[in-house]
Structure 1
């Protein structure tokens, strides 16, 4: 919001320098982002009066303009066609600085020979003064501008660039800013006069207004002015619009923009004679309706959009932009002025759907108060009568189906001290709220009952009143105190603790953490496909993706993780050992996608860099399994089972296991399918593990790592050489041994695996070490032999294993 101090001074006396005012506004919560001194770039430019206009002796397109300059006369050559005798214009004599209209760069005026005539100065356009891009003619100054006075004294201004917060839509208008300044500086506020002569017919005979969507339009007001003349606006209106960054168009449109900047309430002017049936209906658009807006674009409307319609068609997008068929033109003789209040949510949705943002929609989507609609309408009608001529119809059409009574809040000095930490008397609080900010206050014992003024739609709860008092006292004046009171309890976050500890443990195992984007593209998903008939996995797609590679919420960490793994293989000869913890987004029928925390561990390539002292070897499944087992041991997970599975995409069939603990499936681990590996251009076998952290959290008991004292009694070891059918996995043998060897069996380990001609076909020999230990005594050979016999018996019965001879 650009605020002209010259314009602002009409409503409130500003007796302090601009920098001090900016500081006071900022300390009161309305930040001033910048200060522009307009006029500092006009050194030497003065006001001159045109006394004569004569034709150039040799150039028909030029004129000789005689200027009066405080007792002296000068003649300059000009090509402008908008000059008249008596006009007061900005004159840049030789040596004065201005902006070159051709290059846009600063320049200094020099003596010029133009078609044989010497010209010792320049009559300046708005572009040469840096006011706008207009260069069609010379800027005509107000008739009251004193001849010989510096242009800076006439047009110079200071512009404050306010960064208005979304909760203060009242400060999007000059009057709102003036109220802030008046409250801060404790100066009186001068409001515009809203009275005007009503000479036309009754407005109820001119137009009928009906609100068919009161939930989207709480209030709609309109006035009609007949017999106007459309033309350029007065210079003072144009200057103020230009200072605010708005381009002047014509007097009718300029007045609606002027009042919008003054009150913060957007308005729209219709050519009254183009309104069919003299009827205005505020309604939702119907399916298939369209409207050509003022920017010339034909827009297709949807039923959720709010439109302003006449008897037959939409004529405007409510709160956004008018239609071209009812646009005010030079031929317009009567106008209908609209001032309404619209639902901020409706405006935002329509703007987003149409990809259309305007100054009006910017204000409406902040939530304007309905009370200012008639005030802004009266102001606009008054200016139209005074500037454009014509006659205003009697009265206003004001449809307000459900007025809301202002909320009354209770505020005490105790509450204010609790929030701000300062002591203020009730009288002081009342002086701030009622005397300076215009709130309605009444005392109720030890409390104030407060109602906010109509223009303050941001006051919604009692804490907002405390904020108002703090703003007026000054945030920089509130003393700093130490916080007191009991800190709130920290809620337990077991998943966060699990993630942090997992990361630490995996880094301790020699892995590096990676982080990839939650959004992936179809290119990566296509690489996960095995076979021509397989379907590409899909997920929730973004409506407006930034790039094709980031358009779908991932349902697995694997696609982007594998790409990262491959990139690391290319960079380092030693195989990368990586892990990632992140969310995946799993689809659910008729519901939002489910977010789940997952862990992926991956490794590929050679086990270590080439060395002369040892042979190279590739990382394999058992390197990965060692990391997983170490992780589970540190998490105190207890016994885990590895069960071979055949159909887990995108893992290799027959080289993949599901991991269980307490009959809960934690995840899978194994080798990546070779087709997927080729798709990612990975030259080595890739070993992966993928775990669901929610399932993992459900089976963790107590502390992650338990510290126990070293055993007091020695262990006894027995080795078994078992011949078993090839189809029996070693994990099944170990599970049977653990169950049969309780409670004396301490550990089971596979130390040898043999296949050869000495064995029966489809059989293998497994060397398994059994370590026995008792926590309370030294074991005897008889005790161990008894348990060992039980183990052998169970192995023979359940797996068909026999001792190798």
Structure 2
């Protein structure tokens, strides 16, 4: 928000030095991000055109005599709007002006134009750097003081303010004036608003209907007829420019001016273009089209609120008007809209259409429904005065959402508890009253406070305490220790698990990446079958590449791998811990915490030993075994079905009989889809939500064995289709078996076709005694007998 200091001074008396004022505003929560100066015009003064003669040697030029009060100068001027009696900006020889052609600053020199000496220049707005207008000279108001330096008359200081989202009232000059008044102990002066209503009653000329009161709590309208379109007066144009808005004409400028003044957006309709002279505030129809003032034809939905006439939509409520009802040079009657719209609905509309305006910016923050009538009366007054129009009798005011303000109770005890300082009621009343709050003493320790209509951010007694603190000054409050007990620590098991997983995987030599939660349908199709592909689409995607919420971490991780392998020669080991979003019918998506990782490339960096072996399935499996071992969770691997992974090298990860993830070699087709050139890529993905209960279980420890272990190796021939895990589970089920390790797998000429050899090392051990050879032998025979019976296993010869 840019605020003109000269404009502010119309509403509040400012006596503080500029830097001190900026400091007070910043410390109170309204940060002054910058201070700009308009002016710096040397040797340019206010003059009056007292004589005009034709140039003897040029038909299009005139000789103007300009009176500066104590001196008169002759200037050669070619402006078509030059007239006797005008107050103008006169630049003396030696002053610096902007060259309209090059835009550069040039020094004005004495010159002869067609044989006549010009002793100065009557300036245009472009030459002064005020605006881009150069078709004529700038005409000052008739009451401009003669001979006064232009810098003194038009110069201004602009405060560039950063307004927080909860303070829509400060997106206005009057709102800033309230802040300045409270901080400096001054009072606020409101503009006087009065006018004569000489037209017909507005009820005969127009009607307003609100079809959806939830989205439009209030709608006000007035009518000004017989208007004459023209440029706005310089004082209004200068204020608009100072606040960063481009002047257009006296009708549109009034709506922008009042918006800056009061913080209430307005809109001007060409009354003659409104079908049946009706205004209907309703939801748009799906597919309804409207061309907005920026020239874009937009398709609307039933979630959007529009302003319609008797035939169709003429504006997107609170966002932007339509071209079919805009005011033009031919406009003679104007219907002024001043309304209040639901901020949530309006923001959704603005975001869906990717259309933001100064009006929507204010409505989104939730401005007061009490503002429309006040701003409308001010706009009606200014529009009639600047356009010479007639005002219809009365104002249409439809206010279905009217509510009465509820008082807030505030006690000295509450102030003491929050601020740690004792404040009397008198001081509390003084501060709150300076901000426009109405205070009534209920008891020596309690106030009943009515919040002013423009302060929509104040709802609780704590908000009132904040107002008191920031106006007194946070730096003025004494430092005190916090009272009461420290807040109770609430553990977050999932956060702890995520952090622990990241630490373990980083210790395994893997690197964490963070990818976007948004992706495209085309990318997800590469890793998710169409039968399982039901991602949620965001309403306002930034690009088509970030249009859907991810349902798996795989796409982003594989894209990261593809990108990294183009720049890396060694191994790539990446993992990500993040959320996926699973659709739920009639509800928000389910957010689940997931872990995914990929490994690719050589196991060791290239060295003088030669090329290192490539990472394989068992490297990825080993990483997971380390992870689960350190988490204290027992896992097993079982055959899996996953189209993203190669059928020969894939397994599901099982914890407590429940599948928690999957591991395997990336299918060559998927690798090709992601432009991955590595020969083999190994991927794992784990559902941390399913893993969490097991990870939370207390760890059980066994004492170090007191008795020796006896080792036996056994080589078994089984069917190729039998997983080694099934054999291992049977062996581990015997009471004297402490541990089993698979150390060799063989398929080839030494075993029959469709068979394979599995070699295990069995650790026999008892917690109570030393085992004898006979006991070990008997256990070994029992194991072989059961394996033969259940799996058809035989000892390898």
Q: Taking structure 2 as the reference length, what is the TM-score of the superposition?
A: 0.91
| Correspondence for 1:650 | 644
What residue in structure 2 maps to residue 261 of structure 1?
Answer: 260
Q: Give me the whole-angstrom Cα distance separating, in 2, the residues matched to 1:165 and 1:34.
A: 16
1:789 aligns with 2:781: yes
2:185 aligns with: 186
C-alpha separation in 1, matches of 2:367 and 2:750: 92
Q: Name the residue aligned to 2:627.
A: 631
* In structure 2, distance between residues paired with 1:766 and 1:338: 85
Q: Tell me if 1:775 matches 2:767.
A: yes
Distance apart, 1:279 and its partner CA: 4.1
> Residues of 2 paired with 1:547 and 1:366: CA distance?
26
Superposition deviation, residue 288 in structure 1: 5.7
CA shift for structure 1 position 75: 1.5
Question: 1:459 aligns to what?
Answer: 458
Report the number of matched residues.
796
Given that 2:131 and 2:241 are in contact with CA atoms closer than 8 Å, whether structure 1 keeps it comes out as yes
1:35-114 to 2 correspondences below 5 Å: 35-40=35-40, 42-114=41-113
**Cα deviation 1:539-564 (Å, max 9, x = unaligned):** 44445544554444333333443444
Separation in structure 1 between the aligned mates of residue 232 and residue 570 of structure 2, nearest angstrom: 77
Q: Which residue of 1 aligns with 2:244?
A: 245
Partners in 2 of 1:371 and 1:435 — Cα distance? Answer: 20
Task: Output the CA distance in 2 between the equivalents of 1:428 and 1:660.
Answer: 68
Match of 1:347 in 2: 346
Q: 1:738 aligns with which of 723, 729, 732?
A: 732
Partner of 2:398: 399
Counterpart in the other structure of 1:469: 468
**Which piece of structure 1 moves more, 432-441 or 102-111?**
432-441
| Alignment match of 1:672 (pick from 661, 666, 673) | 666
Counterpart contact for 2:44–2:92, Cα < 8 Å? yes
2:692 paired residue number: 697
SS of equivalent residue, structure 2 residue 140: coil
Deviations along 1:51-96, one digit per CA (max 9) or x if unpaired, are: 2212222221211222223333322211111111222211112111
Are 1:100 and 1:128, in contact at CA under 8 Å, matched by a contact in 2?
yes
SS, match of residue 154 in structure 1:
helix
Alpha carbons of 1:234 and 1:525: their partners in 2 closer, same or farther (altered >3 Å)?
closer
How far 1:416 moved relative to its partner? Answer: 1.3
Tell whether the 8 Å contact from 1:44 to 1:93 is kept in structure 2 after alignment: yes
SS of match in other structure, 1:198: coil
Query: What per-residue deviation string (whole Å, max 9, x for no partner) do you get for residues 494-543 of structure 1?
Result: 2222222223223333333344333444664565599xxx9896744445
Deviations 1:714-753 (A, max 9, x none): 11223334343444333222111111x21x2111123444
Deviates further, 340-349 or 612-621: 612-621
CA contact (8 A) 1:644 1:655 kept: no
Match of 1:582 in 2: 578
After superposition, where does 1:319-330 map in structure 2 within 5 Å? Answer: 319-330=318-329
Q: 1:24 to 1:353 in 2, by over 3 A?
A: same
Q: Is contact 1:45-1:92 (8 Å) kept?
A: yes
Assess, with a 3 A threshold, how the Cα gap between structure 1 residues 358 and 71 changes in structure 2: closer, same or farther.
Answer: same
Measure the CA separation in 2 of the matches of 1:300 and 1:38.
Answer: 42
Quick check: 2:70–2:147 contact (8 Å CA) kept in 1? no
Hey, what does 2:511 align to over in structure 1?
Answer: 512
TM-score (normalizing by structure 1): 0.90
Where 1:162 maps in the other structure, the secondary structure is strand
Judging changes above 3 Å, is the alpha-carbon distance between structure 1 residues 374 and 110 closer, same or farther for their aligned structure 2 residues?
same
What's the offset of the Cα at 1:290? 4.6
Check whether the contact 1:526–1:536 (CA below 8 A) recurs between aligned residues. Answer: no
Is the contact between residue 187 and residue 434 of structure 2 (CA under 8 Å) also seen in structure 1? no
Measured in 1, the distance between the counterparts of 2:414 and 2:357 equals 41
After superposition, where does 1:433-448 map in structure 2 within 5 Å? Answer: 433-444=432-443, 446-448=445-447
Distance 1:676 1:377 in 2: 63
Range with greater deviation from structure 2 (459-468 or 546-555) = 546-555
CA contact (8 A) 2:429 2:439 kept: no
**TM superposition shift of 1:698:** 3.1
Query: Cα 1:155–1:685, aligned 2, differ >3 Å: closer, same or farther?
Result: closer
Q: 2:595 touches 2:688 (CA, 8 Å); kept in 1?
A: yes
Shift of 1:610: 5.0
Indicate how the Cα distance of structure 1 residues 325 and 517 shifts in structure 2: closer, same or farther if over 3 A, else same.
closer
* Whole-angstrom CA distance in 1 between matches of 2:389 and 2:546: 59
Q: Distance between the aligned counterparts of 1:327 and 1:514, measured in 2?
A: 52
Partner of 1:8: 8
Matches within 5 A, 1:722-761: 722-739=716-733, 741-742=734-735, 744-754=736-746, 759-761=751-753
Native 8 Å contact 1:659 1:666 kept in 2: yes
| CA-CA distance at 1:472 after TM superposition | 1.6
Report the equivalent of 2:590: 594
Distance 2:219 2:427 in 1: 39
CA contact (8 A) 1:525 1:536 kept: no
Q: How does 1:369-518 map to 2 (within 5 A)?
A: 369-444=368-443, 446-518=445-517
d(CA) in 2 for partners of 1:791, 1:183: 90
- Cα deviation for residue 791 of structure 1 reads 1.8
Alignment match of 1:720 (pick from 700, 714, 718) = 714
RMSD, aligned CA:
3.1
Compared CA separation, residues 529 and 417, structure 1 to 2 (3 A): closer
Task: State how far apart, in whole Å, the 2-side matches of 1:648 and 1:419 are.
Answer: 58
- After superposition, the Cα gap between the structure-2 partners of 1:551 and 1:348, relative to the gap in structure 1 and judged at 3 Å, is closer
Q: Which deviates more from structure 2 when the two are superposed, residues 589-598 or residues 752-761?
A: 752-761
Shift of 1:146: 3.1
Q: Residues 43 and 493 (structure 1 numbering): CA distance in 2 closer, same or farther, change over 3 Å?
A: same
**1:740-793 CA distance string (max 9 Å, x none):** x21x21111234445565655544444332212222332233333332332222
Segment of structure 1 superposing worse, 710-719 or 331-340: 331-340
Residue number among 682, 686, 692 corresponding to 2:681 in the alignment: 686
Distance in 2 (CA, whole Å) between partners of 1:558 and 1:354 is 32
CA positional deviation for 1:300: 4.7
The answer as to whether partners of 2:181 and 2:434 remain within 8 angstroms in 1 is no
CA 1:517/1:119 → structure 2, altered by over 3 Å: closer, same or farther?
same
Q: Distance in 2 between matches of 1:616 and 1:351?
A: 57
Q: Secondary structure at the match of 1:127?
A: helix
Does structure 2 retain, via aligned residues, the 8 Å contact 1:528–1:536? no
Give the alignment of 1:204-243 within 5 angstroms.
204-243=203-242
Q: What's the offset of the Cα at 1:250?
A: 3.3
Structure 2 stretches lacking a partner, 5+ long? none
**Against the structure 1 CA distance between its residues 687 and 311, is the aligned structure 2 distance closer, same or farther, given a 3 Å change threshold?**
closer
Q: Provide, for residues 581-613 of structure 1, a one-character-per-residue CA deviation record: whole Å limited to 9, x for no partner.
A: 333334455554433333334333333345566
SS of 1:469's equivalent in the other structure is helix
Gaps of 5+ in 1: none
Aligned to 2:29: 29
Which aligned segments of 4 or more residues in structure 1 are displaced greater than 6 angstroms?
A: none
Tell me which moved more, 407-416 or 72-81: 72-81
Secondary structure of 2:127's partner?
Answer: coil
Q: Structure 1: how far apart are the matches of 2:546 and 2:108? A: 57
Shift of 1:409: 0.7
Pick one of 647, 656, 659 that aligns with 1:662: 656
Higher mean C-alpha deviation, range 438-447 or range 169-178: 438-447
Distance 2:696 2:329 in 1: 82
Deviation at 1:299, TM superposition (A): 4.6
Q: How far apart in 1 are the matches of 2:526 and 2:290?
A: 46
8 Å contact 2:351–2:540 — kept in the other structure? Answer: no
